[in-house]
Structure 1
Amino acid sequence: MTVVAVAGGTGGLGRAIVETLRDLQKHEILVLTRKVNPIFEAEVGVRTVAVDYTSVDSLKTSLEDNKVHTVICTLNVMENGDPQLNCIQAADLSKSTKRFIPANFGVPHKNEHVIDSFPNAIIKRQANAALEKSSLEYTNIYNGLFMDYYGMPHIKSYLQPTSMAIDIPSRTAAIPGSGDVPLVLTYTFDVARFVGALLGQEKWDVESYVIGDRVTWNQLLQIAEEVTETKFNTTYDSVEKLKRGEMTLLPSHLPVRALFQDGQLETVLSAFGLWFNDGAYNLTADRTLNDTFPEIKTRKVRDFLQEAWGASK
């Protein structure tokens, strides 16, 4: 069987992908980690391989020794893209490795998305530039916003809890702009199923789009209120306010605010608010992975929220 390595596969989206590929039983799966993780191996039934993400030569050796054909990168590249860039270089040098999926999940980032307080956009663009120069076949998977955030903790997910615009546990919302611009939301395990299907494709496009469901913030808020049978405490942040780098913080934001410099969290969230309002998350494509793999049915927002929050959980 083809060997597929998931970098960063012990948690987050990576773990959802690992468990899904394991269950498909079509490939040999291993997880690249900074140290061998016997607890994870026993729990998930997938082998871990310790690698040094700071050394291209060491990574290359690990890929070749394990005959890795495809690398799926799900490393945290929010602030530091060097581990992924090293993985790309090592995969390009590896005699066994031919394909690469970068940690560019979400939306394609444009020039206007590059801001000092949020380096993730430029990190993703750097990964694409490196892949373009390589001999690797690669694809960027764009799935919009992860739906998981609106079902946690009642829906299975390995993501870290966070809130964008709507904080269901506190029944609070801070809607960016009008709230009438559609956005795409996709469950991590649905993304993982499309990744599994992609591995069997003979040819990849540079961009692969996954559409879980498409709603506006106002529609999502209405569904949340109907499911929880509660009227949310809702604020609308104007575009003018967002452009000033200001954003109404939700209760779930307050515990993490101390991790940011003064005003930095608001700057980042307001930037996201502008992207939502500008339609960056309203993904469109001539052909999506949903079209290519119609047998894969994605979770829909109303059913997802009903399962998570029905009967006022």
Structure 2
Amino acid sequence: MSPNNHIKKVAIVGATGTVGKFIVEELLKLGKHEVTAISRKDSPSASSIPAGVKVAAVDYSDESTLVNALKGQEVLIITMSTLAPPDTQLQLIRAAAAANVPYVLPNEWGCDMADEQLGKEILLGNSEVPARKLVEELGKSSWIGVVSGFWYEYSLGMGEQCYGMEVKDKTWTFYDDGETKINSSTWPQSGRAVAKLLSLPIEPETTGGPSLSSYKNKFIYVSSFLVSQKDMFASVLRVTGTKESDWTIKYEDSTKRYQEAQKKVFGGDRTAFPTLLYSRIFYKDGVGNFEARRGGIANDTLGLPKEDLDEATKIGIYRNENGLKYH
């Protein structure tokens, strides 16, 4: 590969965060990139940034610090909580344009946000669509949206509101009949996907060959598993050595569950948001199965490994048993 046809310098916001941690880990493993963590001045998380990662301290109230931190960078990866101030991502995109950063990976990392109606229904489109549009309007960078579905071990471990499992009292809530399949990815697979994506040649080196530029202003779809809740439950039974009769099973209509959660969220109860989000993705309209909707996924193009569902389930069970919320 020509060195001039390869991304070298990568900046990331949220290097120690939920998915950012795994992206940084996989970038370092590949050893092909210089990684810079964009961190707020005096941020306590700066001390946990791994060796081998440069740190650029910034002040979000002074955009010039963002621009200076991004000068010379070829990619900006943005990972942040959905609770972050709405303008933070837009600030970063404007700074990336001012610093002439060619590529921005915006704060996507989940559902198929190419479906703008879905984005409205799950209340995430109002932040993600303007971010992509701003990149295009400024005309200095191109965005690439990474769609990986819900994080498997995280969602399984988060309890009844998400994939339906509560290990301690052995209860499971199924949406509808529990047979709707969705794409779901582990945190490590999400990290590998980004690292492998940024390792592609910028322009094709053979006719029709893979390239980073082919994803300009487009989404790339990756996944660990295409599974239903029934598949997940079968995995949990294998891992725990329990029988179905040991569990209390409930079935809920996904549409009704979504509508009830929507009323709560619009009434000011943000704790109902996970219920709204997950129930909508399990609708039988197939919005969660982007592998089918988009004609396949990019796992083979990126050389991503096939993973063991039961091994990922073990992590989800551990997280649920211990009340873990993040990594």
- Bin of the TM-score, shorter chain as denominator length: 0.7 to 0.9
| 2:247 maps to 1:232 | yes
* Correspondent of 2:298 among 274, 278, 289: 289
* Structure-2 separation of matches of 1:74 and 1:264: 21
8 Å CA contact retained: 2:175, 2:279 = yes
- Preserved contact between residue 242 and residue 271 of structure 1 (Cα < 8 Å): no
Q: Which of 58, 79, 82 in structure 2 is aligned with 1:77?
A: 82
- Partner-residue secondary structure (3-state), 2:290: coil
Deviation at 1:102?
Answer: 0.7
Deviation readout 1:38-93 (Å, 9 max, x if unpaired): 5224x5442221112344333112212xx211101112234533111111111111
TM-score w.r.t. structure 2 length? 0.77
**Hey, what does 2:260 align to over in structure 1?**
245
TM-score, length basis structure 1: 0.80
Code of the residue aligned with 1:101 in structure 2: it is: L
Counterpart position of 1:124: 128
Secondary structure at the counterpart of residue 114 of structure 1: helix
Q: Which moved more, 1:14-23 or 1:229-238?
A: 229-238
Equivalent pairs, count? 286
Q: Aligned residue for 2:307?
A: 299
How far apart are 1:309 and its partner, in Å? 5.4
Q: Is it true that 1:188 corresponds to 2:187 in the alignment?
A: yes
Verify the 8 A CA contact 1:214 1:282 in the aligned structure 2. yes
2:3 match: none
> Do the aligned residues in 1 keep the contact of 2:26 with 2:192 (CA within 8 Å)?
yes
Task: Give runs of ≥4 in structure 1 deviating > 6 Å.
Answer: 259-262
Deviation for aligned residue 1:31? 0.6
How far apart are 1:12 and its partner, in Å? Answer: 1.0
Instruction: Kindly indicate whether the alpha-carbon contact (under 8 Å) linking 1:166 and 1:175 is maintained by their aligned counterparts in 2.
Output: yes
Q: Report the RMSD for the aligned CA atoms in angstroms.
A: 2.9
Q: Deviations over 1:80-115 (max 9, x none)?
A: 3311111111111113x1111111111123324425
Could you tell me which residue of structure 2 aligns to residue 279 of structure 1? 286
Contact 2:39 2:57 survives alignment (8 Å)? yes
Q: Distance in 2 between matches of 1:94 and 1:307?
A: 40
> Are 2:181 and 2:289, in contact at CA under 8 Å, matched by a contact in 1?
yes
1:53 aligns with 2:68: no
SS in 2 for 1:47: strand
1:5 and 1:98 map into 2 onto residues whose CA distance is: 12
Tell me by how many angstroms 1:32 deviates: 0.7
**Distance of 1:267 and 1:30 partners within structure 2:** 33
SS in 1 for 2:10: strand
Q: Relative to structure 1, is the Cα distance of residues 275 and 79 closer, same or farther in structure 2, using a 3 angstrom cutoff?
A: farther
After superposition, the Cα gap between the structure-2 partners of 1:78 and 1:114, relative to the gap in structure 1 and judged at 3 Å, is farther
Unaligned runs of 5+ residues in structure 2 are: 1-6, 203-212, 322-327
Q: 1:127 to 1:50 in 2, by over 3 A?
A: same
Conserved in 2, the CA contact under 8 Å of 1:166 and 1:221? no
Contact 1:5 1:71 in 2 (8 A): yes
User: Hey, what does 2:207 align to over in structure 1?
Assistant: none
1:28 counterpart letter in structure 2: E
Unaligned runs of 5+ in 1: 153-160, 248-256
Structure 1 CA distance, aligned partners of 2:280 and 2:155?
20
- In structure 2, give the amino acid aligned to 1:234: I
